[in-house]
Amino acid sequence: MVREILIYPHEMLTKPTQEVDVIDNEVRGLIRDMFDTMREAEGVGLAANQIGVPLSVMVIDTTPKEEVPPVKLVLINPKLVKGEGKVKFKEGCLSFPGLSVEVERFERVKLSALNEHGEPVEIELEGFPAIVFQHELDHLKGITFVDRLKGWRRRMALEKYKKILREVQKG
Ligand SMILES: [Zn+2]
């Protein structure tokens, strides 16, 4: 089921999520809804709190943005184990419609998480999928991509976003 994506500054986007204890039918349903919602919005990643569920769950599917093979992941209680290298990339966010900002991230990451079956996994990602992972991991901590900017860059991005929102509201 496609759910509504919360738009910044919704408070759910600025609060850390809670770890999942048990992967039950509710969590499995949440994961299905997250894929449905992400695909309909043509996104490449989604965090559970973006659809109003404060649990540490993210989904990634780079199919819309990447050549083969796409990276498709369900990550529950994900952690960054190691990050290497720096890369700057202009990111978008489904919770900030119309805004894109350049953010510095690790180029390669090693992460640990549970998969949808509750099995612990360790995964290495590089390039675009690594960026998507770090963006979604921030969401789960209540951090958005504008929080990665400092000083005037952050102020400029928020000003621009306010303008975009006003235009959208005007129709
Ligand atoms: Zn986002």
Summarize the confidence of residues 51-78 as an average pLDDT. 93
Strand 45-47 relative to strand 72-92: parallel, antiparallel, unpaired? unpaired
Ligand 1 center from residue 68 Cα (angstroms): 23
Contact of 45 with 133, CB cutoff 8 Å: yes
User: 71: domain range?
Assistant: 11-170
Summarize the confidence of residues 147-162 as an average pLDDT. 96
Ligand 1 center from residue 114 Cα (angstroms): 21
116: pLDDT strictly greater than 70: yes
pLDDT recorded at residue 2: 98
Summarize the confidence of residues 3-20 as an average pLDDT. 98
Task: Identify the residue whose tokens are 């600025």.
Answer: 14
**Catalytic residue ranges:** 136
Contact of 50 with 140, CB cutoff 8 Å: no
Q: Is residue 1 part of a domain?
A: no
Q: Is residue 155 part of a domain?
A: yes
Residues 6+ apart with CB under 8 A from 152: none
Q: How confident is the model at residue 169 (pLDDT cuts 50, 70, 90)?
A: confident
**Number of domain units in the chain:** 1
* CA–CA–CA angle 82, 64, 146 (5° rounding): 55
Query: Bigger pLDDT: 8 or 69?
Result: 8
Ligand 1 center from residue 150 Cα (angstroms): 18
Summarize the confidence of residues 156-165 as an average pLDDT. 96
Give the CATH number for residue 40.
3.90.45.10
Contact of 17 with 137, CB cutoff 8 Å: no
